[in-house]
Amino acid sequence: MSEYFENSGLLRAWRALGYSLRGLRAALRHESAFRQELALGLALVPLGLWLGANGVEKALLAGSWLLVLLVELLNSAIEAVVDRVGAERHELSGRAKDMGSAAVLLAILLAVLVWGLILVPRLPG
């Protein structure tokens, strides 16, 4: 029987947690964009939890930046796979990397939009 089928229940969840933490460590070690977005998130997420007037606003403010981190992790995974396949230039490899980058950009724009729609109307004047 394969190792996959031997892992079930709590053992599988425990091992999955280990793989996830290993992925986060790899992103911290190898991905400068992730480190930068995480540093910003360490300020923005608590700020969003503080500035939100209710649970929905808190979730939108904090969650919109957590989404940026999530998309950056996926983009980094795409880039790692493309780089693993080969170093030569290929149209599809470039397209995959560009689309991953575009996804990060859209996530950042979404976060800016959410923060603006929630906080700008509260500004005095």
Which CATH number characterizes residue 76's domain?
A: 1.10.287.3610
Cβ(101)–Cβ(50) below 8 Å: no
pLDDT higher than threshold 60 for residue 4? no
Residues 65 and 113 in one domain: yes
Annotated active-site residue 91? The verdict is: no
66 and 109 in a single domain? The answer is: yes
Cα of first residue to Cα of last residue in the chain, in angstroms, is 68
pTM: 0.89
User: What residues make up the domain containing 47?
Assistant: 32-122
Closest listed residue to residue 115, CA positions, set 75, 29, 57, 73: 57
Distance CA 63, CA 40 (A): 13
Same-domain pairing of 61 and 109:
yes
Whether residue 86 sits in one domain with residue 40: yes
Classify residue 48 by burial, with Cβ atoms within 10 Å: 0-12, 13-18, 19+. buried
Catalytic site residue from 6, 72, 79, 91: 72
pLDDT in tens, 61-99: 999 999 999 999 999 999 999 999 988 899 999 999 999
**How many structural domains does the chain have?**
2
Rounded distance between C-alpha atoms, residue 37 and residue 120, angstroms: 22
- Mean of all residue pLDDT scores within the chain: 94
Residue 6 pLDDT exceeds 90: no
